[in-house]
Amino acid sequence: MSCKVSVIIPVYNAKKYLKETAEALLSQSLKEMEFIFVDDCSTDNSANILYEIEKADPERVMIIRLNENQGPGMARNIGIQYASGEYIGFTDSDDLIKKDIYEKLYKKAILGNYDIVECGYYSERKKSEMMLWSSELEGEITLENRVKIMMSCGFLWSKIIKRDLIINSNLEFIGRIPLEDVDFLTRLYLRAQSIGIVNECLYYYRNNEDSFSNKKKNKSSIAVSSIFSEKYIENMKKEPLYDIFKPVIEYVIIGVWFDIYKNYIKGNSSVDKKDVKVIQNKLKQYVPDFHQNIFFVEKAKKDEIKSEFIKL
């Protein structure tokens, strides 16, 4: 059987939802698939659950067990090495997907020979359906649309990516850094030539308390954002198109620090007033002229908190 889509699922202490997620994957309407679960040295019952999953569908399920915890980025890199599908998708071990998500994404991909195909998702935290990319972005990626895609960033799990693009571009995740998916996606968007859009919400994104979006609400978020910013800038400066897209790349960094500030302003963060000065100094370290970034300034015209932020 020729594999059409390989789905890579990093697993770390995911016993609460792992079985439910696996059942949603194995019941996909697209049958020519493989599911690569990478157990990142879990210490709970995840390994036993994975064993049962493999027994249920040994032809399509692959279990890779790591000897030490390396983080989701490295787990995905290892999964990519084993993937044989025309396209690669990524699913988090605690989320849910609709039965036909990969059939619809793959059909769209083949229809236009697209490098990336994106769908919408349901956000448990926001209690709403979300479409990050409009159908106007579909097709060959223009300069203007590449900027829009990079600014939106998006998520790994709401798309499938042509395997040849990942392999031929030597794209891989940077290990042991936070927001490793943002770094990967930015470099992916700099290489992709076309995208397809499925205008349906086919992925269910759970509100995981251990996710970075929740960590942005506590003091550790400053240290985490510092690690990300340093590595992200280091990686982006190696990109041939860095000078052209520098304002967009810096916009991404500004957005990470703005989220911490926004949570402080809204009162749902352990970050306090004295930390605001730290945020200001850190951001100026990474983006000295952040208050002049053309993309953030434009957004600030319609957002009071953003407007205050650029005055720091």
Q: What is the pLDDT of residue 212?
A: 42
Low-confidence ranges of the chain (pLDDT < 70): 208-219, 268-269
φ, ψ dihedrals at 211, nearest 5° = -75, 160
Instruction: Round to whole Å and give the CA distance between 193 and 81.
Output: 23
Instruction: Round to whole Å and give the CA distance between 284 and 197.
Output: 36
- Which are the contacts of 139, defined by CB distance < 8 A and separation ≥ 6? 112, 194, 195
pLDDT in tens, 246-299: 999 999 999 999 999 998 888 766 777 888 999 999 999 999 999 999 999 999
- Distances from the Cα of 304 to the Cαs of 135, 171, 293, in angstroms? 29, 38, 16
- For residue 159, the SS3 value is strand
Q: What is the pLDDT of residue 142?
A: 97
DSSP for 44-102? SSHHHHHHHHHHH-TTTEEEEE-SS---HHHHHHHHHHH--SSEEEE--TT-EE-TTHH
Q: What is the pLDDT of residue 2?
A: 93
Instruction: Round to whole Å and give the CA distance between 254 and 296.
Output: 8
Q: Is residue 91 within 8 Å of residue 78, measured between CB atoms?
A: no
Q: Where are the alpha helices (DSSP H) in the chain?
A: 18-26, 46-56, 72-82, 101-112, 143-152, 163-168, 180-189, 212-215, 220-236, 242-265, 273-286, 294-300, 304-309
Instruction: Round to whole Å and give the CA distance between 257 and 282.
Output: 9
Q: What is the pLDDT of residue 195?
A: 98
Q: What is the pLDDT of residue 213?
A: 46
Q: What is the pLDDT of residue 218?
A: 57
